[in-house]
Amino acid sequence: MSARAASAEVGYGPLVAALAALMLAAALASLMIGYARLDVPAALADVFAGRSTAAAVVLEQIRLPRAALGAMVGFSLGLAGAALQGLLRNPLADPGVIGVSGGAALGAVIVFYFGLAGAFALAMPLGGVAGAVVAALLLYALVGRGAGTMTLILAGVTVNSFAGALTALALNLSPNPYAAYEIMFWLMGSLADRSLPQLWLALPLTVAGWALLLMSAPALDALTLGEDTAASLGFDLGRLRAQLVAGAALAVGAAVAVTGAIGFVGLVAPHLLRPLVGNRPGRLLLVSGLGGAIVLLAADVAVRLIPVHPELKLGVATALIGAPLLYGLIDRMRREA
Amino acid sequence: MRIAARGLVVRFGERAALAGLDCDLVSGELVGLIGPNGAGKTTLLRVLAGLQRTDSGEARYDGRSAGELGRAALARRVAYLAQSGLSHWPLSVDHVVALGRLPHRRPFSPPSAADRAAVEAALAAAEVVELRDRPIGSLSGGERARALLARALAVEAEMLLADEPVAALDPLHQLRAMALLRAAARKGAGVVAVLHDLTLATRFCDRLIVLAEGRVVADGPPSALTDAVLAETYGVTALRGERDGEAFVVPWRAAGPNLRD
């Protein structure tokens, strides 16, 4: 908690504008860079002219969903991470803490396990969303409305471990090794080979989740001084917890359902950006969402540039980059403390 | 504003923190809430601030219950300063004090001129203007206590409920903080402060409420803190004195023949 922590604060408007510009640049890079060489302006012209050339198809069916999903999922992870860190007042909280990402992964795996994935295109994402919702409901059932923050964390860890155990069980009992292999690869998280219908399925749920999370900003600011002070400033903490669990379940559940589990973005994005907003949890929300989108888009460009085949999974890449980065941050915190 | 509490009972398991407590608080008064550890002072303050459910009895604010008044209105009219001086994130003092304006602000709109003026006034009153850009975690315990007092003052509520606002302060700042609370009462706010320092309590407060085992055992001007009350509730005897027309009490010895020194 050094003096530097506060003096690093920069103007909020310029910061949001700069991050939004960076996010657009990263999305553009994601559109431009891929395995096939693509003349993006020409492909764009083809798309608008309604010509279904190969370039137009690549842009519309492959590159565009990948970039848009990258931005959406990254924003969800960064935003939910910042919101949960604010709620739990712990810089090590991330969407995994409350069990919704584990639940979403399990939901998708169950669909896969029972061979429903091939039944229709959206079966897996729907299963993922259902899993996230069930995890959130289970969390409520375990803690009840009046419970405190510590109970919420413990119940979240319980739900997450249980979902992890059931996922492992599905792998354990998998009827053939190929199914287990596919489940494992899906769990590593990736933006490759996703389609526009998946984006359209996830988008409304995601936006609803974002709204719930972003609306919590004043209450999260008040929580800085503890639960009694926040309540004395007029905030209903039971409602706040419900709002944030629901928001995280919708946004992160939809994200995991489409892309698989992608770790560390929700942990690292708030950590990197917190000093720039004067450590205010309310202001961190939007900023951390943009930061998460930038990190995920950049990582997804990186996995396509690294000449490794099969392609490095995005969840693997974010963990490989994220873990040392997080250690660096922790080390800095320790030296400044 | 008048807060009337009737028949408050709060149980934590078997133990009754409040055991049928009545009290009345009005604006314009500095009330010292005193009593030994575990007497129920913090629980009473939390009930009055609408933070603690009661097992029976309730507090009414100008005749209305907390539920009838509503969370937002209660937050604007009653400010609460918690005992623990914690801040989970290293916000600057400025940002911490501005949190006191949240009950008055529309969500997501910038602070109004009144909000900014209230923050400036609170920073000045608690003497933390020069600390305004410092992260609150970098302050000493006493500086932090003053910054948090400024946060509570910034609410500009009709009633300020402060749990041990001067416990962490050095003698100079204790005197200044007590004078500040008294001045706030003179300007029309009601102030209820949990105090352990009986000398400060008797010197500065208009009225003392003495709690023991969840009940009010004495309620009145500082002179109500008689030798009998001191012996019975705190188990101490006290020196009494007067200076410049102000009476004061200094706890001196443990009471009872076998407990002397």
Yes or no, beta carbons of A231 and B88 under 8 Å apart: no
From B42, which residue of chain A is nearest by alpha-carbon distance?
A228
Please give the pLDDT value at position A29: 94
Helices (H) and strands (E) in chain B, counts: 9, 12
CA distance A206 to B84: 38
* B89 vs B103: CA distance, rounded Å: 20
How far apart, in whole angstroms, are the C-alpha atoms of residue B144 and residue A201? Answer: 49
B69-105 burial, b for 16+ CB within 10 Å, e for fewer? Answer: bebeebbbbbbbbbbebebbbbbbbbbbbbbbbbbbe
Taking contacts as CB-CB distances below 8 angstroms, the residues of chain B near A226 are 82, 84, 86, 88
State the residue for tokens 């948090």: B148
Q: What is the pLDDT of residue B2?
A: 96
Kindly list the residues from chain B whose CB atom is less than 8 angstroms away from the CB atom of residue A224. Answer: 87-89, 91, 96, 99
Spell out which residues of chain B touch residue A234, defining contact as CB-CB under 8 Å.
71-72, 74-76, 102-103
- Specify the amino acid at residue B158: E
Closest CB to A234: pick one of B75, B88, B91.
B75
Interface confidence, given as ipTM, is: 0.93
CA neighbor of B224 nearest in space, from B253, B198, B189: B198
Contact yes or no for A269/A93 (Cβ under 8 A)? no
A256 alpha carbon, distance to own chain's centre: 7
User: B135–A1: do the CB atoms touch at under 8 Å?
Assistant: yes
* Burial group, residue A157, by CB count within 10 angstroms (0-12, 13-18, 19+): middle
State residue A179's pLDDT score. 78
> What is the pLDDT, as a whole number, of residue A178?
82
Q: What is the pLDDT of residues B157-175, one digit of tens each?
A: 999 999 999 998 999 999 9
Q: How far apart are CA A255 and CA A210, in angstroms?
A: 12
Instruction: Give the tokens for residue A193.
Output: 């080979």
Q: Which of A262, A229, A211, A172 is nearest to A83 (CA)?
A: A211
Q: Provide CB contacts within 8 A for A91, sequence distance 6+.
A: A85, A270, A271, A274
DSSP of B37-101, one letter per residue?
Answer: TTSSHHHHHHHHTT-S--SEEEEEETTEEHHHH-HHHHHHHEEEE-SS---SS--BHHHHHHGGG
Please report how the helices A265-273 and A314-336 are oriented relative to each other, as an axis angle in degrees rounded to 10: 40
A2 and B151 within 8 Å at the Cβ level: the answer is: no
Which residue in B85, B229, B225, B107 sits closest to B166, CA to CA? B85
Q: Assign B160 to helix, strand or coil.
A: strand
Helix A123-143 vs helix A196-214: crossing angle, to nearest 10: 20
What values do phi and psi take at A52, rounded to 5? Answer: -90, 65
B136 half-sphere exposure, CB direction, 13 A CA radius:
27
Q: Which domains does chain A have, with CATH numbers?
A: 66-336 (1.10.3470.10)
* Exposed/middle/buried for residue B132 (C-beta within 10 Å: 0-12, 13-18, 19+): middle
Non-local (6+) Cβ contacts of A65 within 8 A are: A194, A195, A196, A198, A199
Question: Residues with Cβ < 8 Å from A108, sequence gap 6 or more?
Answer: A124, A125, A127, A128, A131, A186, A256, A257, A260
> A24 in helix, strand or coil?
helix
Chain A interface mutation, best of B89, B102, B138, highest count of A Cβ atoms under 10 Å = B89
Q: What pLDDT score was predicted for residue A6?
A: 46
Place of tokens 């690292």: A268
Residues 6+ apart with CB under 8 A from A284: A82, A86, A270, A273, A274, A277
Question: Cβ–Cβ contacts within 10 Å for residue B38, how many?
Answer: 14
Closest CA to A127 of A139, A138, A117, A136: A117
User: Which sign does the torsion angle of CA A17, A22, A23, A24 carry?
Assistant: positive
Residues of chain B with Cβ-Cβ distance to A235 below 8 Å are 71
Question: What are the two backbone dihedrals, phi and then psi, of residue B61, each rounded to the nearest 5 degrees?
Answer: -110, 110
SS3 for A237-273 is HHHHHHHHHHHHHHHHHHHHHHHCCCCCHHHHHHHHH
For residue A325, give the amino acid letter: L
Distance from CA of A215 to the nearest CA of B (A): 9
Give the residue ranges of chain A where pLDDT is below 50: 1-6
Number of residues written out for chain A: 337
Do residues B48 and B192 touch, judged by C-beta distance below 8 A?
A: yes
Optimal mutation site among B99, B159, B163, interface A, most CBs of chain A within 10 A: B99
pLDDT at residue A2, rounded to an integer: 40
pLDDT tens-digit profile, chain B (261 residues): 999 999 999 999 989 999 999 999 999 999 999 999 999 999 999 999 999 999 999 999 999 999 999 999 999 999 999 997 788 999 999 999 999 999 999 888 889 999 999 999 999 999 999 999 999 989 998 899 999 999 999 999 999 999 999 998 999 999 999 999 999 999 999 999 999 999 999 999 999 999 999 999 999 999 999 999 999 999 999 999 999 888 899 999 998 765 444
Q: Verify whether the Cβ–Cβ distance B90 to A279 is below 8 Å.
A: yes
Distance from CA of B161 to the nearest CA of A (A): 10
Residue B23 pairs in a beta bridge with B5
Spell out which residues of chain A touch residue B104, defining contact as CB-CB under 8 Å. none
Name the maximum alpha-carbon separation found in chain A.
62
Residues A162, A164, A165, A166: is their CA dihedral positive or negative?
Answer: positive
pLDDT on residue A4: 42
Distance from CA of B254 to the nearest CA of A (A): 35
